Chains A and B, each alone.
Chain A
């Protein structure tokens, strides 16, 4: 059942660091996070790692495993051969704090730039009526656990740090789409997506969708429809006037 695995884990802080090699026990059914915890308990008590739920629900334990952005708690050890080296490194796009922990404050800053839900003025609490088919579209996006793996992966920021200012990233462009598709939101948002949040940077490579642990179709269901709305309204400025409450 159990075996000794070869792990390489990044250790260090913003100033210096290196990949360190470890031999560590692995038992049946374990995930990468279990093994990292075993390292903490037996070999390096100060190994920094973020986690909470260990059930794929909180989006805390994001890292890159053999170069692939993943949740450590949802990566089964059985997906690797017993003699395979498992390399665990922090998310690459965000500034390093220590070991596997990165500074993800960029994401919280972007979240604050998206105008919030604007409730209809004429409905009291308890009077909201919406059909399941209509809420379903935004519900898909609300499955997001804010693991920031898509933000980490998207090349717009990953490869060009200076784009950080102008580009909200897939998670927050999706938030714009979510509110835009909310049946009762009264704000007008799609132009802002283009001018304020950098929708134009996205060239629909779908890399964000590929890494999403919640299997949200970020590109197909959020970003592309948002782009289409922007394009539509550009050619038909009058449409805005007729659009108070969304259908």
Chain B
């Protein structure tokens, strides 16, 4: 039907954030002809916004740090629901991945003896976050971007063409994956600029599309976070796990309204900032949960001593994992002790000299001065929870990042498992590098293993994909009056914020599911004005389909899990339940036989239970039995050395 631009590659990476770029570097270095496709311009992906740092147990600041400590912290932060193999690989490989960035030209802040400096962060036992002021994500993305350019320059010298082996398709959105006999055969998308279609014929696709936060009204995430990769994976037949776990970062801006949700980095607290309520009380001391009592100070004097002498004092409770702090802020505001605009106070001004604040937190200083008329060296900030990160994502094999669909890989925020029920700050950037590289390796070995036996996309499916993408320009809605994409997006964001937000109840989630069902139907009636050239209304219309589908996964899984754990808090089931610790929820799409396009054949989301494999005994032995008994059932601990005696 319509004219389609065609390309053939070995590996197509969807996403140009940290995970996608690292995957592409790996795939290209292993000789694969590689494409990187991204919705925005090259170098603008969401990763650019990361502020605080990248977690890696290099031990530059405290030599007691090591992969075992990092592994323990990650598992604790995720309330032991993490895929332990991923957490192990992550803790072991993160330092190499950070050092490798230096060989690409990255310039991290330094310690006195010239090593990479590391800062404190919530849930990390030792100073562990390599950083560049509070613009670490920018450094990461620029470094990887420049390494991609370096590889292209090498190809230019060898083949006279910068794009001979590695090509970036900027401002290009993938709307469908093509699957042939159960295997990946390619990807279908459009150029945002012209609206023209493209087809990538490729035996392997790496999803590195990031998260889903744009489905929430108050979020730190950008427009790109519409859950495209999650939805692409589902429609291709892969499963998503842990979708009920959504991280609400405790400190987003709350005022003025137009910036509500924009992130205030955790480094403010890592560097000494404290949280106070309207009565001036450092309320976090009132919210230290039983499982963390041994590690966190219960009084201000000890907490303040910790910054200078961490070996002999417990940590300040402001540095508890994010889920704890977010819930505490929520409770304070509910109890009427909030700040004027419905948050709490975050005070760094009284804790550090003005110049020091400007040196350590330049973008925060800038952000508050420019956007809120607040001088953070003089006044406290007002902050409150904001939707920040999705722990759930594509179910993958830890070592190769392979999904259940041959040829389909996933890494970064779009992949699930690594962070369990709650991610520690700084553990995402390291995750991107560790598993981005592994996904690149996984895809390369897969392509080598299939040799000449490459599936080719079926033309009728390609036509279907094109027709589906053009539907919003149609004359008619299938069943109802035409809908405006912007209105539907706002309604969706409100539903998710109000009914499947930070605190959840079964009746509200049931209601959310009804509304999502209705929204799903109305999304089919979205009509857009204008033509295909750089048309944001059309782009949003296509993104909305993914947002609704992925939101349904969040709501269904959240309803199913009748306990509270990490980024999933139930008002009606406030306790953590060890019976749930070893159970994962997986979402799959039901396929029906009838329907014109593959999209029409998708019925609904089905939630299945998956057992979490038991942790390897040598890893289990890294924890004290006393700690594990707070999370595990007695019979699961039979393998622990002190049980075996």
A and B: partners?
A: yes
Q: How many residues of A contact B (CB 8 A)?
A: 58
A237 at interface, CB cutoff 8 A: no
A129 at interface, CB cutoff 8 A: yes
Which stretch from A142-150, A152-160, A161-169 is at the chain B interface? A142-150
CA distance A127 to B59 in the complex (A): 14
Residue of B nearest to A71 (CB): B370
Contact A28 B256, beta carbon cutoff 8 Å = yes
Residue of B nearest to A141 (CB): B107
Partner of A142 from the list B142, B222, B533 (CB cut-off 8 Å) is B142
CA distance A146 to B104 in the complex (A): 19
B115 at interface, CB cutoff 8 A: yes
B67 at interface, CB cutoff 8 A: no
Contact B222 A98, beta carbon cutoff 8 Å = no
Residue of B nearest to A129 (CB): B114
B46 at interface, CB cutoff 8 A: yes
Q: Which residues from chain A contact B363 at a C-beta distance below 8 Å?
A: 57
B223 at interface, CB cutoff 8 A: yes
Contact with A along B367-387 (1 / 0, CB 8 A): 100111000000000000000
Nearest CB of B to A104, in Å: 7
Which stretch from B19-27, B94-102, B234-242, B425-433 is at the chain A interface? B94-102
Known: A45-B536, A99-B534. A60 touches B105 (CB 8 A): no
B52 at interface, CB cutoff 8 A: no
CA distance A139 to B48 in the complex (A): 16
Known: A57-B49, A99-B534. A119 touches B110 (CB 8 A): no
Contact B103 A104, beta carbon cutoff 8 Å = no
Q: Which residues from chain B contact A28 at a C-beta distance below 8 Å?
A: 256-257
- Grouping DSSP codes into helix (H, G, I), strand (E, B) and loop, the A interface class, with mixed when no group exceeds half, is loop
Q: Which residues from chain A contact B538 at a C-beta distance below 8 Å?
A: 46
Contact with A along B427-458 (1 / 0, CB 8 A): 00000000000000000000000000000000
Contact with B along A172-214 (1 / 0, CB 8 A): 0000000100100100000000000000000000000000000
Q: Which residues from chain B contact A129 at a C-beta distance below 8 Å?
A: 113-115
B132 at interface, CB cutoff 8 A: yes
Q: Which residues from chain B contact A130 at a C-beta distance below 8 Å?
A: 107, 110, 114
A239 at interface, CB cutoff 8 A: no
Known: A46-B529, A135-B110. A143 touches B223 (CB 8 A): no
Contact B103 A112, beta carbon cutoff 8 Å = no
Nearest CB of A to B547, in Å: 16
Known: A52-B223, A131-B114. A45 touches B135 (CB 8 A): no
A17 at interface, CB cutoff 8 A: no
Known: A112-B149, A129-B113. A182 touches B534 (CB 8 A): no
Contact with A along B104-140 (1 / 0, CB 8 A): 1101111001110100000000000000110101110
Residues of A within 8 A of B (CB): 13, 27-31, 34, 40-41, 45-60, 74, 76, 97-99, 101, 103-104, 108, 111-112, 115-117, 119, 125-126, 128-132, 135, 138-139, 142-146, 179, 182, 185
* CB-CB nearest 3 A-B residue pairs: A29-B256, A117-B105, A46-B530
